[in-house]
Amino acid sequence: MKNMPSHKGYPYLITKSLDPENQESPIHFLPQQYIPSYYFFRRNHFSYPVLGPQSYTLPITGEVINPYTFTYNELFCLDRKTLTVVLECAGNKRSKFDPRVYGEQWEEGAISQGQWQGVSLSTLLSYTGLSKQAKEVVFEGWDVGEKTGTGEVVSYQRSLSLAKALHPDTIIAYAYNGKTIPYKHGFPFRLIVPEWYAMASVKWLKNITVIDHSFEGPFQTDDYVYYPNEGEMKPFPVTTINVNSTIQYPLNYTIIKNGVHRVHGIAWTGKGEITNVQISFDEGNTWQEALIETDPTHRYTWCKWSIDWRVQQEGEYTIQSRAIDSKGRLQPQEPHWNKKGYGYNAVAKIHVKVE
Amino acid sequence: MKNMPSHKGYPYLITKSLDPENQESPIHFLPQQYIPSYYFFRRNHFSYPVLGPQSYTLPITGEVINPYTFTYNELFCLDRKTLTVVLECAGNKRSKFDPRVYGEQWEEGAISQGQWQGVSLSTLLSYTGLSKQAKEVVFEGWDVGEKTGTGEVVSYQRSLSLAKALHPDTIIAYAYNGKTIPYKHGFPFRLIVPEWYAMASVKWLKNITVIDHSFEGPFQTDDYVYYPNEGEMKPFPVTTINVNSTIQYPLNYTIIKNGVHRVHGIAWTGKGEITNVQISFDEGNTWQEALIETDPTHRYTWCKWSIDWRVQQEGEYTIQSRAIDSKGRLQPQEPHWNKKGYGYNAVAKIHVKVE
């Protein structure tokens, strides 16, 4: 027969909600280092925004010396910066908290990475200058809607400290993996903040405002705040990505044959780089070093790791992975539970049966 | 802007494995009564088969008076039978068993339905006749591979008793929703056995053999057998679909606003028809009748049900659904645990937070 279809399947995004659209990457089935845009996780608070001619310009106002509205072409002509960055939703793995936490029930796929290209925000701010009162930079997206909980109609806004905003790797991106950013991922301009959870990387940038005080929008002071158990700690904002790892193969509760299996996954951190990934096949009694495969010069990316597991004995096994970063951070055995379910990074654990 | 993309998303299949391909339907996001073939769940034991010219013919041999090989055209010219049938994988909802069961971790989407068209197997058997020794009818698919557990290379084969095989609604289908059956769903010929779990509805039919004894292939006597807890009952084969229901909206562990919500879902059974669907919003203390929306003359289909829930008080709620069929079967409060995880049909239960 001509044109015989493939003998295997292709993975798809995993739907959590459709309006707003929230779908996760089929992370266990993606071998790529640069995730194609159609497999990039989609996380929205609102319906997709309606864009117009103004969406192609980017005004910078507020506590600046020369307010200025950059055009798409102007941005495109400034010095380009290309960065491969992992973006992880702060709620990734939320479904694993025990007690369970309400909200989007992300499993392990609210994470993707690829190559973003754009211009450093610091370059733009060097054109506008900053007034002496400048304290934070606020980024507003074109997406607007009713906020769950309060019912208020708001746009999506987030701020950065001046220091973070001026970091040369905080960029206004206009391309992903060498192409115009797809509409669903923030076309035409998306802020990219490496090392932070992805709520900071505001999509569909509408304007940038420098302010002289602390920004207190609902996505800064209500959502994206860790509320630990009462009596433990005060609430504190979600910022840097925790050290973390995910086992891509085998899948949880699957049956595999005895023999040799190359167990593999990814590991990532928002501080420094991954230095070790340790794997346990015996309920955590012993840990072995996995081989880290990725070029460590890719500062903001995940590492791929793998380890050969020779299993002769039939039975049920637990496989665990834990990553360590160059700042000495280690995945904890138990997650840091918090009311809104952010930053889950307990040791990854799966169960398999060997037949 | 011209050609603005949709402001919301589209659901996709949910990947469980790629080779063999196992993907479930995004059942919570499908309002259709006839599921389009691209949203139909895919369940395979092996890689997709290679088809050839012989795949367009269907030999019936064994304990028959006149062995005969039907051609595609001959089948197409015989009396047509059109049936809307729900097909449910016997492992649907396996991931809900506690203790957990190994195997494909199906959630609630290993179920789909649509309109199958073909010819009654009894029509074909009236041409070949049956010898007096005839006891069972064996159906072999073109799919072949190594069986998990034993490592033996086998084809997919299942049998039916003569009574079930001769039921006028047991059909050899060649069309789904008015079009040729898609390759991934059994093209060119698929057996359709209404009321039974879908392991019986053999895809890519290669041949039909009438035998004078009980068939003992591995998908008949090893897989698709209920192995209850030791001391409870003897193992027994998986056949008829259990009475069951699924809540499509809201989704488990989501946050919803207070006000009126139309809670909805589906209910189905392999015996008789669904007569009632009861919903509880108070931990099972009280149950209310849901409205059943579907034409009850569709014998082999699921019912859509819905109920308006007026919730004023913020807090956490449990929503449960239980279906009852015309044979008096009611979904049990606890599932019937069995080693291979078949036939899960405990009361459906979700948790939501109202803000």
> Are residues A351 and A317 in contact, defined by beta-carbon separation less than 8 angstroms?
yes
Question: What band does B6 get if pLDDT is binned at 50, 70 and 90?
Answer: low
Neighbours of A91 (CB within 10 A): 27
Neighbours of A17 (CB within 10 A): 19
Find, among B198, B27, B34, B196, the residue nearest to B108 by Cα: B27
Mean pLDDT of B176-202: 98
Q: Distance of CA B26 to CAs A15, A175, B15, B170, Å? A: 7, 31, 10, 27
> Are residues B64 and B38 in contact, defined by beta-carbon separation less than 8 angstroms?
no
Q: Is B48's CB within 8 Å of A148's CB? A: no
CA A214, CA A146: separation in Å to the nearest integer?
Answer: 23
Identify the closest residue of chain A to B14 by CA–CA distance.
Answer: A14
Tokens representing residue A341 in the block:
């379910």
Strands B57-62 and B205-211: parallel
CA A20, CA B353: separation in Å to the nearest integer?
Answer: 18
Q: Is A55 helix (H, G, I), strand (E, B) or coil?
A: helix
Put simply, whether B1 touches A (Cβ < 8 Å) is yes
Identify the closest residue of chain A to B26 by CA–CA distance.
Answer: A15
pLDDT top residue among B47 and B229: B47
Find, among B55, B50, B192, B219, the residue nearest to A8 by Cα: B50
- Is pLDDT at B340 greater than 50 in this prediction? yes
Residues A133-159 have pLDDT tens digits of 999 999 999 999 998 777 889 999 999
Q: Distance of CA A160 to CAs A130, A156, A210, A215, B247, Å? A: 14, 14, 10, 9, 41
Total number of residues shown for chain A? 355
> Are residues A202 and A188 in contact, defined by beta-carbon separation less than 8 angstroms?
no
CA A21, CA B8: separation in Å to the nearest integer?
Answer: 6
Determine whether A67 is exposed, middle or buried from the number of CB atoms within 10 Å of its CB (0-12, 13-18, 19+): middle
The DSSP string of A10-47 is ----EEEEETTEEEE--GGG---SS--GGGS-B--SSS
In B, residues 149-168, which contact A (CB 8 Å cutoff)? 149, 151
CA B125, CA B67: separation in Å to the nearest integer?
Answer: 10
Q: Is B254's CB within 8 Å of A15's CB? A: no
Nearest to A8 among B12, B21, B28 (CB): B21
Q: Is A54 helix (H, G, I), strand (E, B) or coil?
A: helix
Of the residues A13, A100, A150, A203, the best mutation for testing chain B's interface (the one with the most B CB atoms within 10 Å of its CB) is A13
Residues B277-298 have pLDDT tens digits of 999 999 999 999 999 986 656 7
In B, residues 95-134, which contact A (CB 8 Å cutoff)? 95, 100-105
CA dihedral B100, B105, B108, B109 (to 10 degrees): -170
Put simply, whether B351 touches A (Cβ < 8 Å) is yes
Q: Distance of CA B6 to CAs A15, A49, A145, B30, Å? A: 16, 10, 16, 17
Distance from CA of A133 to the nearest CA of B (A): 39
Number of helical H runs and strand E runs in chain B: 4, 24
Identify the closest residue of chain B to A146 by CA–CA distance.
Answer: B257
Please enumerate in sequence order all residues whose Cβ is within 8 A of that of A319, keeping only pairs 6 or more positions apart, or say none: A247, A250, A263, A279, A280, A281, A309, A349, A350, A351, A352
Residues B72-88 have pLDDT tens digits of 999 999 999 999 999 99
CA A55, CA A141: separation in Å to the nearest integer?
Answer: 10
Spell out which residues of chain B touch residue A104, defining contact as CB-CB under 8 Å: 254
Nearest to B254 among A11, A52, A102 (CB): A102
CA B33, CA B308: separation in Å to the nearest integer?
Answer: 21
Nearest to A29 among B18, B20, B254 (CB): B18
- Is pLDDT at B35 greater than 80 in this prediction? yes
Tokens representing residue B353 in the block:
């937070």
Identify the closest residue of chain B to A53 by CA–CA distance.
Answer: B1
pLDDT of residue B293: 86
Q: Write out chain A's pLDDT in tens, 355 residues.
A: 344 556 789 999 999 999 999 999 999 999 999 999 999 999 999 999 999 999 999 999 999 999 999 999 999 999 999 999 999 999 999 999 999 999 999 999 999 999 999 999 999 999 999 999 999 999 999 999 998 777 889 999 999 999 999 999 999 999 999 999 999 999 999 999 999 999 999 999 999 999 999 999 999 999 999 999 877 789 999 999 999 999 999 999 999 999 999 999 999 999 999 999 999 999 999 999 999 986 656 789 999 999 999 999 999 999 999 999 999 999 999 999 999 999 999 999 999 999 9
A-B contacts (CB, under 8 Å)? 133
Residues B103-146 have pLDDT tens digits of 999 999 999 999 999 999 999 999 999 999 999 999 999 999 99
Question: What band does B1 get if pLDDT is binned at 50, 70 and 90?
Answer: very low
Q: Distance of CA B117 to CAs B3, B169, B170, Å? A: 38, 11, 11
Of the residues B2, B3, B12, the best mutation for testing chain A's interface (the one with the most A CB atoms within 10 Å of its CB) is B12
Residues A64-82 have pLDDT tens digits of 999 999 999 999 999 999 9
pLDDT top residue among B322 and B1: B322
The DSSP string of A286-301 is --EEPEE-S-TT-TBS
Identify the closest residue of chain B to A51 by CA–CA distance.
Answer: B1
Q: Tell me what percent of the residues of chain B surpass a pLDDT of 70.
A: 97
Spell out which residues of chain B touch residue A101, defining contact as CB-CB under 8 Å: 253
Of the residues A14, A15, A256, A314, the best mutation for testing chain B's interface (the one with the most B CB atoms within 10 Å of its CB) is A15
Instruction: State pTM to two decimals.
Output: 0.91
- Is pLDDT at B7 greater than 90 in this prediction? no
CA A274, CA A245: separation in Å to the nearest integer?
Answer: 10
Of the residues B98, B184, B254, the best mutation for testing chain A's interface (the one with the most A CB atoms within 10 Å of its CB) is B254
Residues A283-293 have pLDDT tens digits of 999 999 999 98
CA B33, CA B112: separation in Å to the nearest integer?
Answer: 9
Distance from CA of B143 to the nearest CA of A (A): 11
Q: Is B12's CB within 8 Å of A16's CB? A: no
Question: What band does B22 get if pLDDT is binned at 50, 70 and 90?
Answer: very high
Put simply, whether A20 touches B (Cβ < 8 Å) is yes
Spell out which residues of chain A touch residue B15, defining contact as CB-CB under 8 Å: 9, 11-12, 14, 26, 28-29
Q: Is B1's CB within 8 Å of A316's CB? A: no
Find, among B222, B252, B216, B262, the residue nearest to B238 by Cα: B222
pLDDT of residue B5: 55
Q: Is B8's CB within 8 Å of A29's CB? A: no
CA B154 to chain centroid: 23
Find, among A25, A51, A204, A205, the residue nearest to A109 by Cα: A25
> Are residues A41 and A91 in contact, defined by beta-carbon separation less than 8 angstroms?
no
Q: Is B254's CB within 8 Å of A105's CB? A: yes
Distance from CA of B126 to the nearest CA of A (A): 32
Identify the closest residue of chain B to A317 by CA–CA distance.
Answer: B102
Give me the interface pTM, i.e. the ipTM.
Answer: 0.86
CA A42, CA A313: separation in Å to the nearest integer?
Answer: 41
Of the residues B3, B17, B248, the best mutation for testing chain A's interface (the one with the most A CB atoms within 10 Å of its CB) is B17
Q: Is A253's CB within 8 Å of B101's CB? A: yes
